[in-house]
Amino acid sequence: MAATSHTAAPAEEKNPKMRVIRVGTRKSQLARIQTDSVVAMLKTLNPGLQFEIIAMSTTGDKILDTALSKIGEKSLFTKELEHALERNEVDLVVHSLKDLPTVLPPGFTIGAVCKRENPYDAVVFHPKFVGKTLETLPEKSVVGTSSLRRAAQLQRKFPHLQLKSIRGNLNTRLQKLDELQEFSAIILAAAGLQRMGWQNRVGQILHPEDCMYAVGQGALGVEVRAKDQDMLDLVGMLHDPETLLCCIAERAFLKHLEGGCSVPVAVHTAIKDGQLYLTGGVWSLDGSESMQETMQATIAVPAQHEDGPEDDPQLVGITAQNIPRVAQLAAENLGTSLANLLLNKGAKSILDVARQLNDAH
């Protein structure tokens, strides 16, 4: 990778073939690994281009003593990076897609949704509990998670466990698990552990019947300025059609429920034989109340191709000019329809109570 530095590209480098593409990222090791992987894909597709990686700290990286759901900020891990985009200090930013709100600030768009890695959650056990599962952990074992979504589902499925908030980047959380004797296990995204090369710490993968995943989990999103056609063209080649359609459906579901990290909302998507299946659920904070449903839509997974221009190409914050619009609209409609089905069955009261309780604590 090109060495990191904070100098802007010289003004004379107007020719996109000559200019240095400045890539913004969070400072954590995982964020750097994810950004490096996106830059490597872009370099393979554009061998003549130069890339410079600019790392910065975000609000979510700085506030480590408060649960994410309590901070009350939708763009915890993205705001500082978007400011850099706005000021033209970087040309694109690499995020975990699950960190990006379903409505982006004006002037920004997700120009690429990269191929999803394992979207499931993983359990990492304290060394003395290696070989156990959540089911076989002793009564009152403390399990750490920073997510209301995980806590609500696991409290419901494994009532003998105690769920407790744990914050910090992956390195910090693993250190807390191994050294503090406070946690019997912690729950982390399997994709993050894979990207860090820590697969050997995974003691159990949580499948949807135990814990459905977060919207966009396991996928990377590349954010650009919405009017920067050069960058849209450059990063648009990274769109993975299947991942894109699944994530449009998931984000539309969350958006219509008006969910965020302050309420427990989870999903599971699959594409099979031209059908997109979306399962979505909502839970009370303690997991005692829950509601989930599955719907499907016909969606032939497209080969990438150019569509005609659109007045407003964004769907749930994503611009994908090289994927057929009809497939994207079908995915968005599926997410909205599933959200409506749950709302009509009373999901709003579960979410409202969860939101109020979370705000009160």
Q: Which residues are catalytic?
A: 99
Name the strands in the sheet holding 265-272, side by side, starting at the edge strand that comes first in the sequence.
265-272, 275-283, 290-298
Name the strands in the sheet holding 220-225, side by side, starting at the edge strand that comes first in the sequence.
50-56, 20-26, 92-96, 220-225, 108-113
Q: What is the DSSP letter of 284?
A: -
Rg (CA), the chain: 20
248/318 Cα distance (integer angstroms): 8
- Residue 281: enclosing H or E segment and its boundaries? strand 275-283
Helices (H) and strands (E) in the chain, counts: 11, 13
Q: Calculate helix-pair angle for 148-157, 347-360, nearest 10 degrees.
A: 110
Tokens matching residue 164: 């407790």
CA nearest neighbour of 35 among 93, 113, 111, 102: 93
141/169 Cα distance (integer angstroms): 22
Tokens matching residue 8: 């802007």
CB 123 within 8 A of CB 239: no
The three-state secondary structure class of 15 is coil
DSSP letter string, 239-262: --HHHHHHHHHHHHHHHHHT--TT
CA nearest neighbour of 214 among 239, 190, 182, 238: 190
Q: Specify the amino acid at residue 124.
A: V
